[in-house]
Each structure stands twice: as C-alpha cells, then as structure tokens.
Amino acid sequence: MEHRTKFLLSEDELPCVWVNVLPSLREPMAMPLHPATGKPVSPDDLAPIFPMGLIEQEFSPKPEIDIPGEVLDIYRLWRPTPLYRARRLEAALDTPAHIYYKYEGVSPAGSHKPNTAVAQAYYNKQAGIRRLATETGAGQWGSALALACRMFGMDCTVYMVKVSYEQKPYRKMMMNAWGAEVYPSPSDKTNAGRAVLAEHPDSPGSLGIAISEAVEDAATHADTNYSLGSVLNHVLLHQTVIGQETKLQMQQAGEEPDVIIGCFGGGSSFGGIILPYFLDKLNGSPVRLMAVEPSACPTLTKGAFAYDFGDLAKMTPLIKMYTLGHDFVPPGIHAGGLRYHGAAPLASHLLHHGYLEARAYPQTPVFEAAVTFTRAEGILPAPESAHAIRAAIDEALAARREGRSRVIVFCLTGHGHFDLAAYDSYLSGKLQDFEYPDEEIARSIAALPAVG
Ligand SMILES: Cc1ncc(COP(=O)(O)O)c(C=O)c1O
C-alpha cells in the first residue's frame, strides 16, 4: 500500500519473551559494588528492597526471558503499540528521508513506563510484598507504577520531584485516582528528605534525592519494596517489547532503519527500542543507535564514565555509568524525566565501547521540533520524547541537504497532555535555555567516589 501510515500488529504477535543482551556482550560489564564494602554486590545485598525474580533478571545469563501470562494479559490492554510512518512530517520538512515513529503514548499512563511497572508489580506480588515505594520525575513513572500496583491490588507510595509536583498537579491527581499516595520530594517523610530540607528549604528536588527517599522507605518497612523506573538492567529488559515489535513492524514496512533514535533519561525506553537492534549490530548491521539528552543535564555527552552512586544519600550500590556526579541538581527544565545525573550502566557500557552515539539539545529547539511534529502529525509529544523528534528532524534535514534518502526510526515515548504549561511557556516566548556550566560539571565529577 503506497500511502500506508500505520503498521499494526495483532495481539497474537505481542512478544512473549524479553530480550536479554547481557550474555551477548563482547566486553564484560563492570559489576555494581556495595556502597559500604566496595565489593561486588551479591543477590542477597539487593534482597531487602527487590524481589528475587527481578534480582535474577538483573544478572541473568539467559538470552530470552519468558514474559509471565499475567503480565501479558495486562500488556494486551494497550500492546502491541502502533508504528507510524510520519508522511506528513516528511512532507513538511521536504525531505527524501523516511521517518517512522513507535508510539508508546497509547498506554493508560501515557508512556512506555507501564511496560516495566506491570512486570515489577507482578514479581513483587509473587514475593508477597504489599506496597511499592518509588520516585518520579515528570510523574510518568509514578503514574505507571500507580496503575500497575492497582492492577495487582498493591499499595503505592510515590516521592515526586518537587519542581514537577508543582508544574504538573494533574499527574499527581492521576496517581491518586489509581490509589497511590504522592509526596513532593524532598519531603519530611524520610531522613534523606529532612536532611536536604534542613540545608535547602527551597530545593526543587532531583531524581537523586527522590530515589534516596523511596529506597529509605522500602529499606525501613518489611512489607514494602522499592521499584525503579529506569537505569537497571531488568528495567531495560522489560522495555525490549518495544524494539521487538518495531522490528516486526519495519518488516511490514519493508524497510531497514539506518538510524534509531531515542530520548535518554535513565535509558529505559532507549534501551527498549535499541537493544534488539544492537544484537544485529553485533552481527555486522550498520544501523546507527542514537541517544538524545537535554544540554541542561548532559550525562552522556559531558559526564564521566565512572563508578558513582545512583542517589544523593549514597544508599544505592556504586554503579559504573556515565554520570554528572550524584550531587548534581539539574535546572528545572520541562523534560523532568530527563533530569537524572546518571545513566543505565548497560547503555553507558555500549556508549563507552562505541556502539552508540549521543547528542544533547537545549529545550527551545526541542520544543520547536515538538510543535513542528504536532502540527504535521497531530500527536502532542511529551517534552522528553521531543528530544528524539529534534534529532530525527535534524537527520531528515541532513538527508535533504545530501539529496539522499535515509530511514529514520524514533521512539515517541509518550504524549504531552500533562505538559501543556510547558507548551504555553514555549508558545508565549517565555522558555529559557540552560547550558550547564562546564566548571559546575567538573566540580561535581571531581567529587566522584574514588573507585575502579
Ligand atoms: C515520556 C518519557 N519519555 C522518556 C523518559 C525518560 O526515561 P527513560 O530514559 O528511562 O526512558 C521519561 C521519564 O520519565 C518519560 O516520562
């Protein structure tokens, strides 16, 4: 069909495994280290806050892991998600490039996050856990976990980065509707939160601080576990349903991607779309894999590849990753979900070994791309997702300059229906760009723990 716009899969084509690339890595990945002893963490070290089902997946040597039937039943509420050919965007850009986007905003929570939230709630429920505690930046992850806990009849407590809590009251209400409790972080509910408030009463919060609060909550309550929406291997693993579906859909389209683009916060959606393609790359495919981040939080493009803590209070294991330093508090840009000082160790490893590319953009050109996209394609993208759109548009414009086609695939991780204040700010010319000063980054990196 010449004008085919949507590439849809039937429910029977929903992937029934998650793809685990760990056993295929050519270079060994650095192990996470215990924060107190500096020795590699053992599964038992993680047991106070994670169920064994997820801990096993974190280190699994199996190339594929079966998706449990109860998880598949919930996935079927919105999966498989559509892949679109962005014909109207191509026309607007007058480019010979073919642009495709995988749309994860059709989930009930509005993003890719439920792909792992449902899996995590399932394994915790199996382990007899009654409540999950977590942090959320933009509110997308908190919404996803609130939804997933509801589906399995569990309680959910969310520590929401204060700047987002204030910018996005509707996300909080959505979490409340699914039955979750939501606190602005730093909060007075935990020692970690109280310590930050004592020093900086007006702290806008950060993911690093909110993680400390949620981990402390889980570690101090026997019936409660912690749940992380990104960064860890098992989270990227659960997201590989995205890349597996994309592959089938690109087969329908009869094209091979030249470049696959994803926005990058902690790296879960990016991992989800690229990891199945990374295996092809290991076998000689020339596909380019590109991560896009904000220049206000330039973890991959300006951070150090080093051991660091995942949180401010140094409660998490030390992980080797690209990092801006665990005490880095990024400015309150509108893509709240991309304001994390670190990056998935798996994605960091692949970037360090040359399998990935990374780019950073300020928020004004990102919103400009989001508006170009919504005016052509109709969907109003989340500001996080719009980072990938910016890079996809730039790739399409480069194709136009070169007078050559190229096939561009990007992950549209979510819709922006709760981000209208950010759009209003952009459209009324009030949005400001922020390039994090190099000296600040150098100061933060100089304070990294001395390991490895
Ligand atoms: C819509 C959306 N996209 C992307 C991200 C970034 O997270 P990750 O890099 O883990 O996919 C977030 C995080 O909150 C998000 O809400």
226-282 tens-digit pLDDT: 999 999 999 999 999 999 999 999 999 999 999 999 999 999 999 999 999 999 999
Three-class secondary structure assignment of 147-171: HHHHHCCCEEEEEEEHHHHHHCHHH
Report which of 415, 247, 352, 252 is spatially closest to residue 260, judged by C-alpha positions: 247
Identify the band that residue 27 occupies on the pLDDT scale cut at 50, 70 and 90. Answer: very high
Ligand 1 contacts CB of residue 263 (under 6 A): yes
Q: What is the mean pLDDT of residues 50-77?
A: 97
Q: Which of 305-314, 345-354, 407-416, 423-432 has the lowest mean pLDDT?
A: 305-314
As a whole number of angstroms, the distance between CA 407 and CA 277 comes to 14
The rounded distance, in Å, linking the Cα atoms of 149 and 266 is: 22
Provide the residue type at 34 as one letter. H
Question: Tens digit of pLDDT for each residue in 156-179?
Answer: 999 999 988 988 889 999 999 999
Residue 146 near residue 175, CB atoms below 8 Å: yes
> What's the gap in Å between 2 CA and the centre of ligand 1?
33
pLDDT digits (tens, 9 = 90+) for 78-101: 999 999 999 999 999 999 999 999
- Rounded CA gap, 236 and 215, in Å? 20
Best mutation site among 263, 340, 348 for ligand 1 pocket (most ligand atoms within 8 Å of CB): 263
Residue 377 binned pLDDT confidence (cut-offs 50, 70, 90): very high
Instruction: Go through the domains of the chain in sequence order and give each one's CATH number.
Output: 69-110+234-446 (3.40.50.1100)
* Ligand 1 pocket member 384 (CB < 6 A): yes
> What pLDDT, on a 0 to 100 scale, did the predictor assign at position 329?
78
Q: Please give the pLDDT value at position 153.
A: 98
* Ligand 1 pocket residue status of 382, Cβ below 6 Å: yes
Locate 92 and state its tokens: 């607007």
Confidence at 1, pLDDT banded by 50, 70, 90: low
Distance between Cα 411 and ligand 1 center (Å): 11
Amino acid at 158: V
Q: Ligand 1 within 6 A of 80 CB?
A: no
337 lines ligand 1 (CB under 6 A): yes
Atom of ligand 1 nearest to the CA of 136: 14
Q: Is the CB of 137 under 6 A from ligand 1?
A: yes
Q: Please name which of 443, 448, 306, 441 lies closest in space to residue 360, comparing C-alpha atoms.
A: 441
- Out of 101, 103, 113, 356, mutate this one to test ligand 1's pocket (max ligand atoms within 8 Å of CB): namely 113
Is pLDDT of 335 > 80? no
Name the residue with the closest Cα to ligand 1, atom 5: 337
